[in-house]
Amino acid sequence: MGIRIGIDGLYIIPGEIAGTGSYLMNLIKGLQCVDNENEYFIFATKSNYKCFNIDKENFKIVICDFDNTIRFNRVLYTSTKLPKVIKNNKIDVMFFPTYVRCIQNIKGIKIISNVHDIQYKHFKENFSFSKRVLFSFTYPLSFKKSDKNICISNFVKQDIIENFKNINPSDLEVIYNPIDFEKFETKDNVIFDDFANKLGLVKKNYILSVASLLPHKNIPTLINAFSIYKKRSGNVNIKLVLVGMRDKATNDLVKLIAANKIEDSVVIPGFVSDDELSLLYNNAKVFVSPSLFEGFGMPPVEAMYRNIPVITTRCTSLPEVTMGQVIYYNNPTDADDLSKVIEQTIVKGFVYKSGINEKLIEKYSVENAANHYKKLFEKTFAEK
């Protein structure tokens, strides 16, 4: 007889599914593929339950009645009312996929958490005062009161050990993020022509970057590098596509683009669907991730799978998750350095080593990750 596993899906907001949202969707897809023994209860809201594509009898949706679009509401509900809902559903193991979890222990229930990374320790200036206060409370709480904490890379595990001296390393389990490679299987590229017309793009004549537009993603360096490259190379037709959630940082980027006088060459489509993102990956000339900090970094791996030349930094987890198989530039904030690497890559091209896709699937497929999670859920439940 299997165990009853709860998964907190309360943080998912329709239309705003970024990194941690994609991670959870991919994980649930993988668990449905590999686990027919245990029962899963996805805690969701009236506004987001349709986001979870559930098609297995051993997976159920539990609706929690509150407005999850306000972070404070979610933190309050998770700490005050969710414990009772968890107990009523007779959960054996509860999984929290983000830094928000119940403040109190729930008697008889094992807790597993995943905070993803501790970026707030390194880039405090990128977070509001209220967020820093929240993180300084919730992160230590998660490490202290969870039976196991998942780390999405070896970098994250080591970072946690170095910054939280009281943590037991044996309570940290490294499981790489699941990537849904099926989303990027061959699409009808005839559709690309219609989509490209809307954005003013030409196949294989644009540089792609997929990231939120937050400061640590280092997008200004990419914009400046792109401007330098265009002037140096004389490649007037190439464009830069910045895919990511629009936020308050977008205005600053628009000003920087205008200052470089490249408004007609930069496209910021904001959020795009999976199909549209697949088309953008499939038809890009080069993919660039100039990020300063990543706990994992899914987009560079997704681009690798499409055999697009990937340029990225040597920062944090990126060399680990890209397996040393892409193009790295040395100074992450040096726009001139990046522009030269972009130019060299466009001129000379880049060919991955044979079997790269098989290695990516073996390491990051949704099924592989889900099997690791399933074993961890079962092992944690069995421990006294």
| Residue range 364-381, pLDDT digits in tens | 999 999 999 999 999 999
- We report the CATH number of the domain holding residue 8 as 3.40.50.2000
One domain, residues 193 and 342: yes
C-alpha to C-alpha distance for 96 and 273, rounded to whole angstroms: 26
| Matching residue, tokens 């098609």 | 55
pLDDT tens-digit series, residues 346-358: 999 999 999 999 9
Q: In which band, very low, low, confident or very high, does the pLDDT at 22 lie, cut at 50, 70 and 90?
A: confident
φ/ψ of residue 356, rounded to 5? -60, -40
Which distant-in-sequence residues (6+ apart) come within 8 Å of 167 by Cβ? 143, 149, 160, 161
- Is 216 in a helix, a strand, or coil? helix
Neighbours of 250 (CB within 10 A): 16
One domain, residues 321 and 225: yes
One domain, residues 325 and 373: no
What residues make up the domain containing 12?
Answer: 4-178+365-382
One domain, residues 60 and 138: yes
pLDDT average, residue stretch 60-77: 89
One domain, residues 205 and 173: no
Which distant-in-sequence residues (6+ apart) come within 8 Å of 46 by Cβ? 63, 65
pLDDT of residue 251: 83
One domain, residues 278 and 336: yes
One domain, residues 187 and 272: yes
One domain, residues 210 and 67: no
Q: Name residue 289's beta-bridge partners.
A: 312
pLDDT tens-digit series, residues 165-204: 889 999 999 999 999 998 776 555 557 777 888 889 999 9
Q: In which band, very low, low, confident or very high, does the pLDDT at 215 lie, cut at 50, 70 and 90?
A: confident
- Is 185 in a helix, a strand, or coil? coil
One domain, residues 233 and 188: yes
One domain, residues 240 and 147: no
pLDDT tens-digit series, residues 110-168: 999 999 999 999 988 888 888 888 888 888 888 888 999 999 999 999 999 999 988 99
How many Å is the maximal CA-CA distance in the chain?
67
What angle in degrees, to the nearest 10, is found between the helix axes of 356-364 and 298-305?
Answer: 140
Quick check: 222 pLDDT over 90? yes
For the chain, first and last CA: distance in Å?
Answer: 18
One domain, residues 306 and 248: yes
C-alpha to C-alpha distance for 76 and 83, rounded to whole angstroms: 11
Number of structural domains in the chain:
2
Neighbours of 251 (CB within 10 A): 11
What angle in degrees, to the nearest 10, is found between the helix axes of 219-233 and 335-348?
Answer: 60
Q: Are 338 and 290 in contact (CB under 8 A)?
A: yes
Which distant-in-sequence residues (6+ apart) come within 8 Å of 384 by Cβ? none
Q: Name residue 64's beta-bridge partners.
A: 45
C-alpha to C-alpha distance for 380 and 90, rounded to whole angstroms: 16
C-alpha to C-alpha distance for 377 and 111, rounded to whole angstroms: 9
DSSP-derived letter for residue 170 is: G
C-alpha to C-alpha distance for 99 and 358, rounded to whole angstroms: 32
Neighbours of 335 (CB within 10 A): 19
